[in-house]
Amino acid sequence: MFNLTIDKKIMSQITNNILMIKPVSFRYNDQTAVNNYYQKKLMNYTFSQLQNKALLEFNNFVKKLENCGVNVIVIEDTMQHETPDSIFPNNWVSFHKNGQVGLYPMYADNRRMERREDIFGYLVEEHDFHIKEIKDYTDFEKHNKYLEGTGSLVLDREHKICYAATSIRTDKDVVKKFCKDFGYRSVFFTANQDVNGERRPIYHTNVMMCIADNFAVICLESIDDKEERKYVIESLISSGKEIIEITEDQKNKFAGNMLQVMGDQPYLVMSSSAFISLTKKQKIIIENFCSIIHSPLNIIETCGGGSARCMIAEVFLPKSKI
């Protein structure tokens, strides 16, 4: 049983309630692959086979989370629109402790079809959450400006710091609007990766860093600018985070795409490929803070270009007052 003071600190950063979307038509998305260099086509599988394998990975992942005491709210996707990436809900929505909801502008046309306001009604009516206000940033799409939720934004919720690696999918103007509306301080930087011998922006911040209650996992190698790197390090240290540095090779295995959640105790959630890539020393450091949950997500990672953290939308909403 956790000390009450520690509980309050932990629960300002992590939550027991998470939303996950069960896929119905998962496949490689050509619209996102233009700047998500982690996606790869699996030519030996039919669409049906990819969907079935992704669904199996999804169900096994949910079961592991639930077995560890995490409250997983599973909502099935619909066939109403073509939404091959619906398994990654954290990109279009975020839920906050004050009852506010963020609704985000998406780069790919077919990803915009993932936004479903019926889910908000379900959370209120079936799970007794309270939604005070929806902050809708989707009009930015008309100006070709995008901000893909907590893919673009890695949030230190306790200290109200928003880390954002700028890219075509993480626009500074939209980040600034989010920070003004939600009371965050922005930390901007550029994170790059090697693509055919060139350094190109990483499409989402949460691919290369994760903020937990007392530590941060981050690929500092991807921040090429030394001043920006120093700025990020100083911000993390000043907010009391122990830095666990990962390499670019580990990042490519989604070791940056982690999320801390609350179950019967705090857990750091990641894919099995991420877990296997970690060194023994890194695992020991993490496990000094919390236990690890990992699950195989090979098909989802390969075709979707996202991993465990992308699949989880944290629900920090307050419960309705009776």
pLDDT in tens, 130-182: 999 999 999 999 999 999 999 999 999 999 999 999 999 999 999 999 999 99
Cα angle, residue 301 at apex, residues 296 and 304 outer, rounded to 5°: 140
Could you tell me the domains of the chain? Answer: 4-314 (3.75.10.10)
Token pair recorded at residue 181: 């509306």
Which pLDDT belongs to residue 23? 94
pLDDT, one tens digit per residue, over 202-255 is 999 999 999 999 999 999 999 999 999 999 999 999 999 999 999 999 999 999
Q: Residue 170's pLDDT is what?
A: 98
pTM, rounded to two decimals: 0.94
Q: In percent, how much of the chain has pLDDT > 70? A: 94
Q: Which residue has the tokens 């915009």?
A: 112
- CB atoms closer than 10 angstroms to residue 322: 4
Residue 33 pLDDT exceeds 70: no
Residue 236 class from Cβ within 10 Å (0-12 exposed, 13-18 middle, 19+ buried)? buried
pLDDT at 3 over 70: no
Q: Is the pLDDT of residue 2 over 50?
A: no
pLDDT at residue 216 in the model: 98
Report residue 5's pLDDT band, with 50, 70 and 90 as the boundaries: very low
Furthest-apart CA pair in the chain: how many Å?
59
- Mean of per-residue pLDDT scores for the chain: 93
Give 87-145 pLDDT, tens digit per residue. 999 999 999 999 999 999 999 999 999 999 999 999 999 999 999 999 999 999 999 99
| Residue 274 clears pLDDT 70, i.e. is over it | yes
User: How far is CA 50 from each of CA 83, 101, 168, 293, rounded to the nearest angstrom?
Assistant: 14, 32, 28, 24
Q: What's 190-235 look like in SS3?
A: CCEEEECCEEEECCCHHHCEEECCCEEEECHHHCCCHHHHHHHHHH
pLDDT above 50: residue 286: yes
Note the pLDDT of residue 32: 83
- Residues 6 or more apart whose Cβ sits within 8 Å of residue 290: 212, 260, 265, 266, 267, 268
Please check whether residue 41 is in contact with residue 28, taking contact to mean a CB–CB distance below 8 angstroms: yes
Give 37's pLDDT tier (boundaries 50, 70, 90). low
| Overall average pLDDT of the 62-89 stretch | 94
- β-partners of residue 259 are 269
Cα–Cα distance between 223 and 116 in angstroms, integer? 35
Token pair listed for 245: 């540095």
For residue 84, name the pLDDT band (cuts at 50, 70, 90). Answer: confident
- Of 305 and 280, the structure prediction assigns the larger pLDDT to 280
Statement: residue 39 has pLDDT above 70: no
